[in-house]
Structure 1
Amino acid sequence: MHAFADLLDRLIYTRSRNAKLKLIGEYLRATPDPDRGWAMAALTGDLDLPAVKSSTIRALIEERTDPVLFTMSRDFVGDTAETVALLWPEPEPLRAEALPGYDLRLSAVVERLAALSRSDAPAVLAAMLDRLEANERFALLKLATGGLRVGVSARLAKTALANAFDLDVDAVEEVWHGLAPPYEPIFAWGEGRGKQPTPADVPVFRPFMLAHPLEDGTVDLDRFAAEWKWDGIRVQLVHVAGETRLFSRAGDDITGAFPEIATHFATPGVLDGELLVRGEAQGHALGEGGGAASFNALQQRLGRKTVSKKMLADYPAFVRLYDLLFDAEADLRELPWEQRRGRLEAFAARLDPEYFDVSALIEAADFAALAELREGARSAAIEGVMLKRRDSAYVAGRRVGLWYKWKRDPLTADCVMMYAQRGNGRRSSFYSDYTFGCWNEAGELLPVGKAYSGFTDEELKWLDRFVRGNTVNRFGPVREVEKTLVLEVAFDSVHHSKRHKSGLAMRFPRISRIRRDKPAAEADTIATLESLIV
């Protein structure tokens, strides 16, 4: 556990990407199986220890220290695991050798926590914490609850593994989701002790091809094809050896949440598409959203392990297909986009049209005409335009010059700051998360969204001073402020929502400007936002 804790500690204080890659690589080369495999599972978000919840940890620390002290410390530090690790009483003597009975190797800790019931978890977790130093306690708590937040993405961790053993990162990514932690076949391959794992007869995830934002400039429509960028979630459909899997963009298996899609995809192959919920309007007309409802409707289905019959009926899902990676056993990824598109259309013709269709191409005489069509794209299900080079192979990740995403311009509204909360990590000392509202007909200010991005570091310092100097009430870590500051908020769309008092919810809100020049009374109204719903 000590080596893993040291790795996390170093990663937290390392900003350089290359330095992070080196740290992880050195750890993986020096650490034996299965510890290094469980470390990779933690770094990539593939570790699930359901017996330990945040509430369990809070209850344990409140038994051992003043609950008010813990609350105040947590508010200041901004991270529960770090706060508990620092406040946890130091046993005498400290080290585990003097408190026998627990194997505190990383693999042993993971295996023991994975086998626990929720009722047994508190006692076992507390005994482990009693045997560890502060940085090890932090690592244990992060491990137990997930979400390490050490500035390492899953892709970065896999890149570090590939670099450490001179492997191709795309080859590692391709078989990753077909293997279970602690990934011993990958390490055996990397060290020359075993063969390269293959995805044969296993429904595994392949890395998606991604697009660069189209900033200023144009593309030649003779060389690029255009299609709508649909506002759902990107999915990969895999059917191999009689098994079907749905994977999210992050490679998570979401098959259980969309059983109707899995049931009706029984044709061997691998497809790339957008998961959507069907709206009332059918067909492919732009004004109807191509038969798709807003992302808000899709959210009702996300994050569920099982789905009720009512949910299936109220929010019927379908997949709008973008690309064909495999046609049965034939790997098409090296083919140019135009050839894959033809194969996709033929493949899709064999699928049930109630659950699958092909994303239509946009016909435009030139780029100016396409820009005009994009400007009018305010359907609830359309985010903008995708531009794909006609001769492009399907390659993992973002490759310059192949695919571009040209999102529609965001909507904006002038809102009034209502509440603020401290951030996490390096923002834990700043009030950086802001709830804002608009006026209703009765002159009440009702919350319409929350944002924690879009501003510079200097603007963050100014906003933090405003919150501290204009606080009128406190609710735990949340401060209510005087309703005097107007924020211009950019957002992708707005939808009806029963979960919010205003009846509205913004999609992807971010602060685009601080309107110190505008009186709060002149901020926008709920009615104005409602007029933007499509």
Structure 2
Amino acid sequence: MRSFSKLLDRLSLEPRRLAKEALLVRYFQETADPDRGYALAALTGGLTFKNAKPALLRALVSERTDPVLFALSYDFVGDLSETIALMWPAHANSQADSEEAVAPDLADIVDQLEHAGKTDVPRLLISWLDTLDETGRWALLKLVTGGLRVGVSARLAKSSVAKLGSLNVSQVEEVWHGLSPPYEALFAWAEGKTEQPDIDDPAPFRPVMLAHPLDEAKDLELLAAEDFAVEWKWDGIRVQAASGKNREGEPVKRLFSRTGEDISRAFPDIMDVLSFDACIDGELLIVSQDKVRPFSDLQKRLNRKTAGPKLMRDYPAAIRAYDLLYLEGEDLRSLSFRERRKKLEAFVAALSEPRIDISDMVPALSWTEIAAARAEPGHLLKDGNAEAVEGVMLKGWETPYVTGRPKGLWFKWKREPKLVDAVLMYAQRGHGKRSSFYSDYTFGVWREGDEGPELVPVGKAYFGFTDEELREIDRFVRNNTINRFGPVREVSHDLEKGLVLEVAFEGLNRSTRHKSGIAMRFPRISRLRWDKPPSEADRIETLKALLPVEG
């Protein structure tokens, strides 16, 4: 546990991706099985402990410290694990006080938590927290709550395993879902000690191919428009639907996110129609009456463990297919996009399944035509559903399906973001490296109230600004706080005094959950408008005019 604690501590303080990868590689090289496998599982979200919840941790620390002091400390620190680790009373058996005390192994902790009953977990946690030092306590609490927040993605962790030998991360990802913690076979393969694990998985994840943003200033001069297929970029989430039969002839079906997360249980309506031996790459959307619904409707289905009949009936999911990666025993990824597209068209037509259709090609042959389609897609779409289009995708006709983000093969050309001037209303501390700064912002626009103009919240954002701008906003929040609601600070925001933020966003949807009746899609801070008084910020009518037409 001590080496795992040190790893998390160093990862949390290291901002550079390559340096994080080097730390992980070294840890995996120096740590024996099964500890390194459980560390990998923790970093990739593969460990869950049903009886170790944040509420239990709060109760344990409240029994040992002043609850008011804990609440104030938690508000200041902004991280539950860090607060508890710092406030947990020193114990005679702690490593800080006794060199003879032995920290529990990571594998022992995982094994005991997985097999512990609900009444056993408090005793185990107390004994470990009493034994560990501050860093160890923090790492333990991060482990049991699952919120590591050390800036390591699942892909980076897998990439670090691949670098133990001559593998690449795509090879690791293709066998990943056929393995389970502590991944001893994976490490042996990565280190060249054994052959690739024999995975009986007819529906594996196939690492996705990604696109580069189109650089209008350079790429339009260098690239020939006729070399690229042009598709609509739909406003959903990228998914991969794989289906087949195992050696016993039993069907295996999976729906993956673009990062390889298995989201099958949340979309049983999609799983019901995966009756083929193939793997398709596409966009998950909510579609009813042949029309793509707003992204906010899809959000009602995301991040759920499963979906009930009413949710599926009200928000029916569908896949709009982009590509065909595998078909009846044949891996198609080495074929050109032109060849794969022909096979995809035939496959979807033969499937004849309403929940799986094909993304139409954009009828544009020159950069002028492509730019016009991107700017005004409505007249080219069969249903005029322009609000569901984020822009266009450009895919080289002769390109194979290559894992990762290869240069020069695929490009995405998104529509210009919309901008609005809003007034900062509330701020909250961030997490991790930002826990000392007020970096999560709620902003609003003006509407006419009973007593004159009033601000109504229209969105939240926590990125888009530079480190220097973050310090400027944090200083403004601290110097202009007029009220506090737990961890949230209300700042001055009247017609004369306040901070105007230029907010960029991808689109708007109607929402009954928000006081303004509006939900923003991907809002981020574009720039700070110190030059603009709050009275000149936008009004709610400006945003309502941008809402998609109902029908």
In the superposition, the TM-score normalised over structure 1's length comes to 0.94
Displacement, 1:277?
0.5
Cα distance change, pair 215–54 in 1 and its aligned pair in 2 (3 A): farther
Question: Which residue of structure 1 lines up, in the alignment, with residue 440 of structure 2?
Answer: 433
Quick check: 1:375–1:408 contact (8 Å CA) kept in 2?
Answer: yes
The whole-number CA distance in structure 2 between the counterparts of 1:103 and 1:515 is 52
Q: Deviations over 1:173-228 (max 9, x none)?
A: 11112211111211222344432024544422111111111122324221111101
Mapped to 1, the partners of 2:421 and 2:439 lie a distance apart of: 18
Aligned equivalents of 2:117, 2:511: Cα separation in 1 = 36
Q: Quick check: 1:252 aligned with 2:235? A: no
Gap change, CA 1:97 and 1:490, over 3 Å in 2: closer
Q: Which amino acid in 2 is paired with 1:277?
A: I
Q: Structure 1 residue 351: deviation in Å?
A: 1.8
**Equivalence for 1:222:** 226
AA in 1 matched with 2:109: V
One-letter code aligned to 1:503: G
Measure, in 2, the Cα distance between the counterparts of 1:161 and 1:382.
38
Aligned counterparts, 1:306-317, within 5 A: 306-317=306-317
Q: 1:191 to 1:366 in 2, by over 3 A?
A: closer
2:62 maps to what in 1?
62
Task: Indicate which of 349, 372, 387 corresponds to 2:394.
Answer: 387
Please say if residues 453 and 510 of structure 1, whose CA atoms lie closer than 8 Å, have aligned partners that are also in contact.
yes
* Aligned partners of 1:228 and 1:386 also within 8 Å: yes
Measure how far apart 1:152 and its partner are.
1.5
Post-superposition Cα deviations, 1:431-473, rounded to whole Å, max 9, x if no partner, equal 1111011222323311111111111122111111111111110
Query: Residue 284 of structure 2 aligns to a residue in which SS?
Result: strand
State the partner residue of 2:542: 528
* Structural mapping, 1:289-368, within 5 Å: 291-368=291-368
Q: Secondary structure at the match of 2:189?
A: helix
Moved more, 423-432 or 133-142: 423-432
In the TM superposition, residue 166 of structure 1 has moved relative to its aligned partner by 2.7
- The answer (yes or no) to whether the contact 1:377–1:408 under 8 Å persists in 2 is no
1:116-142 deviations in Å (ceiling 9; x for gaps): 344543332222211111111111111
Q: Distance in 2 between matches of 1:225 and 1:50?
A: 48
Counterpart residue number, 1:45: 45
Amino-acid identity (%): 53
- Greater shift in the superposed pair: 113-122 or 161-170: 113-122
Match of residue 280 from structure 2? 271
Do the aligned partners of residues 156 and 84 (structure 1) sit closer, same or farther apart at CA in structure 2, a change above 3 Å counting?
same
Residue 494 of structure 1: aligned partner? 508
Task: Determine the structure 1 residue equivalent to 2:383.
Answer: none
Distance 1:16 1:467, change over 3 A: closer
Separation of aligned partners in 1, 2:321 and 2:29: 41
Give the residue type in structure 2 aligned to 1:455. F
Query: Could you tell which deviates more after superposition, 93-102 or 65-74?
Result: 93-102
- 1:75-474 equivalences in 2 (<5 Å): 75-95=75-95, 104-216=104-216, 217-218=219-220, 219-241=223-245, 242-280=251-289, 282=290, 291-377=291-377, 379-442=386-449, 443-474=453-484
CA distance in 1, matches of 2:349, 2:298: 25
Matching of residue 506 in structure 1 with residue 510 in structure 2: no
The DSSP-based 3-state class of the residue aligned with 1:494 is: strand
Q: CA–CA distance in 1 between the matches of 2:253 and 2:350? A: 16
Flag the 1:226–1:117 CA change in 2: closer, same or farther, 3 A: farther
**Partner Cα separation in structure 2 for residue 317 and residue 34 of structure 1:** 40
Deviations 1:289-339 (A, max 9, x none): xx2111111111112222221111111111000111101110111111111
Q: What SS does the corresponding residue of 1:303 show, helix, strand or coil?
A: coil
2-structure distance, mates of 1:97, 1:441: 63
Letter of the structure 1 residue corresponding to residue 407 of structure 2: V
Shift of 1:344: 0.9
Q: Helix, strand or coil: the match of 2:226? A: coil
Measured in 2, the distance between the counterparts of 1:64 and 1:184 equals: 40
Describe the superposition over 1:222-259 as per-residue Cα deviations: whole angstroms up to 9, x where unpaired.
11111011111111111121211101112111111111
Query: Any conservation in 2 of the 1:178–1:203 contact (CA below 8 Å)?
Result: no
Q: Runs of 5+ in structure 1 lacking a partner?
A: 283-290
SS of the residue corresponding to residue 416 of structure 1 reads strand
Change (3 A) 1:412 1:63: same
What CA distance in whole angstroms lies between the structure 2 residues aligned with 1:119 and 1:376?
Answer: 61
Q: SS of the residue aligned with 1:235?
A: strand
Aligned amino acid, residue 519 of structure 1: P
Contact 2:178 2:201 in 1 (8 A): no
Distance in 1, matches of 2:176 and 2:71, equals 40
4+ runs deviating over 6 angstroms: 96-103
Question: Pairwise CA RMSD of aligned residues?
Answer: 2.1
Distance 1:187 1:315 in 2: 42
Determine helix, strand or coil for the equivalent of 2:372. Answer: helix
Compare 373-382 and 207-216 and name the one that shifted more: 373-382
1:131-173 CA deviation, whole Å, 9 max, x = no partner? Answer: 1111111111111111312122211111111111332321111
Cα distance in 1, alignment partners of residues 527 and 193 from structure 2: 57
Confirm or deny: 8 A CA contact 2:392 2:412 kept in the other structure: yes
Letter in 1 for 2:482: V
- C-alpha contact 1:412 1:489 (8 A) present in aligned 2: yes
- Checking the alignment, whether the CA contact within 8 Å between 2:155 and 2:259 is kept in structure 1 is no
Q: 2:293 is paired with a residue of what secondary structure?
A: coil
Q: Aligned letter for 2:172?
A: V
Question: How many residues align structurally?
Answer: 525
Answer yes or no: is the 8 Å Cα contact 2:427–2:438 preserved in 1.
yes
